[in-house]
Amino acid sequence: MKNLIYFILLVAVAQILIWYVTNGQFISNFFKKNTLLISFIGVPITYLVTTSTKYGFNYFEKLWPIRLTGFAIGIVVFTILTSYYMNEFINLKTIITIFLCFLIILIQVS
């Protein structure tokens, strides 16, 4: 269970950082003016993703559940941050997609 918790936390942190690296240019002049500098955050993100994969594999003992669960966590993180910063509010399609993401996570964890 500890491996699952570490996996989920590391994936969530990595997805949050990825959102800022790719979309920060739309919310901050610093990100817009320093794209090369911001791209170096990719190194710690890669470490987080690689480490999360290790914990995920220790829990699931397969790669597909890691990919599907990571995808679902990424969608949820993207939805939250995009709604907050970009005022792209959640519509019915997004609600259904988030619901499906939670189903993916539940299916893979059970």
- End-to-end Cα distance, the chain: 12
For residue 10, what pLDDT band results from cuts at 50, 70 and 90? very high
The mean pLDDT of 26-31, rounded to a whole number, is 95
Q: How far apart are CA 37 and CA 39, in angstroms?
A: 5
Q: What is the pLDDT of residue 108?
A: 87
Total domains present in the chain: 1
**pTM passes above 0.85:** yes
**How much is the pLDDT for 63?**
96
pLDDT at residue 53 greater than cutoff 90: yes
Supply the range of the domain harboring residue 34.
2-109
pLDDT, averaged across the chain:
94
Name which of 8-12, 52-56, 60-64, 98-102 the model is least confident about.
98-102
